[in-house]
């Protein structure tokens, strides 16, 4: 939500209209002055870390230490998942095309859509649906069953659960332990954590004797973002910021390897010539 810029003495009507057009609560700039959420930038430099700065700009205040630690853990966990991830692969290929780091990063970030990169946002929405039913009087497991059924009428995938590569995502347990510690300390409610655990229980009951489908990185970070009070769309936005670090690292590494026009298939295994098109 934007806030009106106070009218300043000496401004012409045209300058005042321009000031109000760009009114924002995020920052305020005048000659010799930079304020971020009402705080002079010189007071923030050297005293506030980047995670706290992200919180400040998004939320308007500074987080408590354990809130900051939880957010940082989620951001650290999501920075990279190898060059087979489409966002990373695209950035690496882009870096060999002579477009510069900024465009290589943008190429990778633009791959983060509903299928690759959107599961965290979707999982926050699903956990919120479960919590709403729980507040209406259902048990956690009944609320999870009803919500899962509704989601799976739209898609067989449950966002934030299961992984195509990891039987158990190695990022799950350390993230959830941090949430449990925060619940014990009274820093977060634990409602979204309980909603996520309920999904795991329902999945186990459905798949008795089969391979389990535990929470993955998207589910574990969705729990953190939801417990910290971030709306679902910001779960994706924060993941994008996190993954941008890995995208930058991969694009920078690739740019130093001397390849040109790197494609998805190594050149030495490409066919000598492409097969003739099949007639319809």
Q: What is the rounded average pLDDT of the residues 240-264?
A: 92
For 75-97, the pLDDT digits (tens) are 999 999 888 899 999 999 999 99
Measured in degrees and rounded to the nearest 5, phi and psi for residue 106 equal -60, -40
Range 23-26, long-range pairs (CB < 8 A, 24+ positions): 25/1, 25/60, 26/57
User: Cβ contacts of residue 177 below 8 Å, gap of 6+?
Assistant: none
The tens digit of pLDDT for each residue in 156-203 reads: 889 989 666 666 788 899 999 999 999 999 999 999 999 999 999 999
Q: List pLDDT tens digits, range 219-240.
A: 999 999 999 999 999 999 999 9
The residue ranges of DSSP E strands in the chain, in sequence order, are 27-30, 33-36, 39-40
Residue 189: CB partners within 8 Å, gap ≥ 6?
183, 227
Question: How do the domains of the chain map onto residue ranges?
Answer: 14-62, 63-263
Q: Of the ranges 34-48, 62-76, 82-96, 250-264, which one carries the lowest mean pLDDT score? A: 250-264
Structure tokens at 149: 């059924």
Q: Which DSSP category does 269 fall into?
A: G
Fold for domain 63-263? Cytochrome p450-Terp; domain 2 (1.10.230)
Cβ atoms of 127 and 133 within 8 Å: the answer is no
């Amino acid at each position: 939500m934007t806030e009106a810029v106070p009218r300043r003495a000496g401004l012409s009507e045209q300058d005042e209209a321009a000031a109000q057009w760009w009114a924002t609560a995020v920052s305020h700039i005048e000659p010799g002055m930079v304020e971020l959420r009402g705080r002079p930038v010189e007071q923030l430099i050297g005293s506030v870390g980047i995670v706290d700065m992200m919180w400040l700009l998004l939320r308007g205040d500074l987080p408590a230490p354990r809130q900051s630690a939880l957010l940082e853990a989620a951001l650290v966990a999501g920075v990279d998942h190898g060059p087979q991830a489409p966002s990373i692969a695209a950035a690496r290929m882009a870096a060999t095309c002579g477009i510069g780091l900024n465009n290589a990063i943008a190429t990778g970030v633009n791959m983060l859509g509903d299928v690759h990169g959107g599961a965290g946002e979707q999982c926050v929405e699903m956990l919120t649906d479960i919590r709403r039913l729980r507040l209406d009087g259902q048990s956690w497991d009944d609320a999870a069953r009803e919500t899962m059924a509704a989601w799976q009428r739209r898609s067989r995938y449950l966002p934030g659960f299961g992984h195509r590569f990891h039987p158990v995502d190695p990022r799950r347990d350390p993230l959830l332990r941090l949430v449990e510690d925060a619940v014990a300390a009274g820093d977060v409610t634990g409602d979204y954590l309980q909603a996520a655990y309920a999904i795991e229980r329902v999945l186990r009951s459905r798949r008795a004797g089969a391979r389990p489908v535990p929470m993955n990185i998207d589910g574990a970070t969705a729990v953190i973002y939801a417990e910290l009070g971030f709306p679902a769309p910001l779960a994706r936005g924060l993941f994008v910021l996190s993954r941008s670090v890995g995208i930058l690292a991969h694009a920078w590494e690739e740019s130093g390897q001397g390849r040109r026009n790197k494609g998805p298939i190594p050149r030495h295994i490409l066919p000598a010539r492409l097969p003739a098109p099949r007639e319809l």
